[in-house]
C-alpha cells in the first residue's frame, strides 16, 4: 500500500519559473536527485513552453535527459500546446501536464488565447499524449478566484474538468492561482465534482499561500477525501504579488501537517508512512534551494527549521 497522501512536488517548475535567478541545469538535476532521495514519487521538473517566454526553464530537454534512473518516480513536465508535446516526447518523457484557466481574462493574459481556443488545443494535446500511452495531468487555474474577474463560476470549472477527463486526462489539478480560495469554496467544489462523477482520486489540489490559507484549504480538501496535493519546497514560486510574498503551498508545511496525523503510531525512522517523504531531507533541500536562488524563501516550516538548525549548530559549537 502506498502513502495515504500523495504529494506532487512542483518547485523545479512552478517554483523556478517565477524566479529572477536562472538556476544552472546541473543544480536543477542535483535538486531532482535530492527530491527522489527524500521520497517524492511525483516531481514536476520543467516546462516545454517557448524558451523565450520562460528563460528560467529554457533547458527543459537537458533537464529531462539528465534525470536520475528512478523507475518508481513519475517525472512530469508542463506542455502548453502540440509543439511543446512534441518537444517533450523527443526527450522520452512519459508524464505531461496541460494547463488552462477557468477565467477568460486570465487565460487571455496568460496564453493569449480564448478559453474556447485553449480547450480545443488542450484536448488535442491530451488525445495525442494518450495515444502514446503517456500519463496526463490537466491543470485548471484560477478555480477559486481570478485576480482580474473576481469570482469564478463553479459550473464553468465543472464543465472544463469533465471535458478534459472526457478527452483522456488522468487527473485534474485545481489551481488556486493567486491564493484566493476559502475552505468553504474548496468543500463546495470537491463535492460538486464528485457529484458530477469525477472520482476523488483523480482530483488534485494546487494551493497558494498568498493570503495564508494554503494549509487550511488542504485540510478542508483532505476531510472531503482528496489525497493528492501539490507543494513547492520552502514555498518557492507561484506568482507572488510583492517581493517577500508567499507563493505556492510549502511542501514542508504539508509533510509536517500530515505526519502529525500519524503521531499515535511508532515513529518510523526516516520515511514517514503518511506521505512517504522524509521531512528532514526536504528541510535540507529547502536550504539548498534558498542558496541557489540567493533570497530568503517564505515557507513557514522552512523558516522554523532553519532557525532550529542554527540553534543546534550554536549549541554544538
Q: Which residues bind Mg ion (CB under 5 A)?
A: 14, 238, 248
Core vs surface per residue 41-59: b (16+ CB within 10 A) or e:
bbbbbbbbbeeeebebbbb
Total Cβ atoms within 10 A of residue 297:
23
Please, are residues 195 and 158 in contact by the beta-carbon 8 Å criterion? no
Taking the C-alpha atoms of residue 107 and residue 46, their distance in angstroms, rounded to an integer, is 20
Please, are residues 271 and 262 in contact by the beta-carbon 8 Å criterion? no
The DSSP output letter for 177 is T
Using the minimum distance from each CB to Mg ion, give the nearer residue, 185 or 248.
Answer: 248
Does residue 97 carry a catalytic annotation? no
Using the minimum distance from each CB to Mg ion, give the nearer residue, 44 or 278.
Answer: 44
Using the minimum distance from each CB to Mg ion, give the nearer residue, 16 or 128.
Answer: 16
Beta carbons within 8 Å of 53's beta carbon, 6+ residues apart: none
Residue 10 beta carbon to Mg ion: minimum distance, rounded to whole angstroms: 6
Torsion of Cα atoms, 144 then 286 then 252 then 55, to 10° = 20
Using the minimum distance from each CB to Mg ion, give the nearer residue, 175 or 272.
Answer: 175
Residue 238 beta carbon to Mg ion: minimum distance, rounded to whole angstroms: 4
Residue 267 beta carbon to Mg ion: minimum distance, rounded to whole angstroms: 31
Residue 147 beta carbon to Mg ion: minimum distance, rounded to whole angstroms: 13
Distance of CA 269 to the CA centre of its chain: 27
Taking the C-alpha atoms of residue 164 and residue 8, their distance in angstroms, rounded to an integer, is 20
Using the minimum distance from each CB to Mg ion, give the nearer residue, 88 or 97.
Answer: 97
Q: Which of 11, 97, 239, 250 is catalytic?
A: 239
Using the minimum distance from each CB to Mg ion, give the nearer residue, 128 or 289.
Answer: 289
Angstrom distances, CA of residue 81 to CA of 124, 190, 208: 9, 28, 25
Residue 149 beta carbon to Mg ion: minimum distance, rounded to whole angstroms: 19
Core vs surface per residue 175-189: b (16+ CB within 10 A) or e:
bbbbbbbbbebbeeb
C-alpha cell at 115: 478559453
- Point out the residue whose Cβ comes nearest to Mg ion: 238
Please, are residues 206 and 241 in contact by the beta-carbon 8 Å criterion? no
Residue 14 beta carbon to Mg ion: minimum distance, rounded to whole angstroms: 4
User: Annotated active-site positions, please?
Assistant: 239
Amino acid at each position: 500500500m502506498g502513502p495515504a497522501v500523495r504529494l506532487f512536488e512542483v518547485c523545479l517548475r512552478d517554483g523556478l519559473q517565477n524566479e529572477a535567478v536562472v538556476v544552472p541545469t546541473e543544480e536543477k538535476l542535483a535538486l531532482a536527485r535530492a527530491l527522489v532521495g527524500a521520497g517524492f514519487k511525483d516531481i514536476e521538473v520543467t516546462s516545454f513552453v517557448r524558451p523565450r517566454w520562460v528563460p528560467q526553464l529554457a533547458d527543459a530537454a537537458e533537464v529531462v535527459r539528465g534525470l536520475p534512473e528512478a523507475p518508481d518516480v513519475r517525472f512530469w513536465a508542463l506542455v502548453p500546446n502540440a509543439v511543446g508535446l512534441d518537444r517533450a516526447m523527443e526527450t522520452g518523457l512519459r508524464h505531461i501536464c496541460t494547463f488552462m484557466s477557468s477565467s477568460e481574462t486570465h487565460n487571455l493574459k496568460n496564453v493569449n488565447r480564448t478559453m474556447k481556443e485553449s480547450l480545443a488545443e488542450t484536448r488535442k494535446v491530451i488525445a495525442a499524449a494518450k495515444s502514446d500511452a503517456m500519463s496526463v495531468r490537466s491543470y485548471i487555474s484560477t478555480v477559486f478566484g481570478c485576480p482580474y474577474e473576481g469570482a469564478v463560476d463553479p459550473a464553468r470549472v465543472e464543465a472544463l474538468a469533465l471535458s478534459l477527463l472526457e478527452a483522456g486526462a488522468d487527473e485534474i489539478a485545481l489551481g488556486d492561482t493567486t491564493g484566493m480560495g476559502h475552505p468553504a469554496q474548496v468543500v463546495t467544489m470537491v463535492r460538486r465534482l464528485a457529484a458530477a462523477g469525477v472520482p476523488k482520486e483523480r482530483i488534485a489540489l494546487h494551493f497558494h499561500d498568498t493570503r495564508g490559507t494554503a494549509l487550511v484549504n488542504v485540510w478542508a480538501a483532505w476531510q472531503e477525501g482528496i489525497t493528492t496535493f501539490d507543494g513547492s519546497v520552502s514555498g518557492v514560486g507561484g506568482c507572488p504579488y510583492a517581493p517577500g510574498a508567499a507563493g505556492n503551498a510549502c511542501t514542508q508545511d504539508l509533510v509536517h501537517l500530515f505526519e502529525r496525523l500519524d503521531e499515535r503510531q511508532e515513529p518510523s525512522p526516516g520515511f514517514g508512512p503518511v506521505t512517504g517523504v522524509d521531512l528532514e531531507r526536504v528541510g535540507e533541500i529547502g536550504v539548498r534551494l534558498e542558496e541557489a536562488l540567493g533570497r530568503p524563501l517564505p515557507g513557514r516550516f522552512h523558516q522554523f527549521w532553519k532557525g532550529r538548525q542554527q540553534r543546534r549548530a550554536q549549541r554544538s559549537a
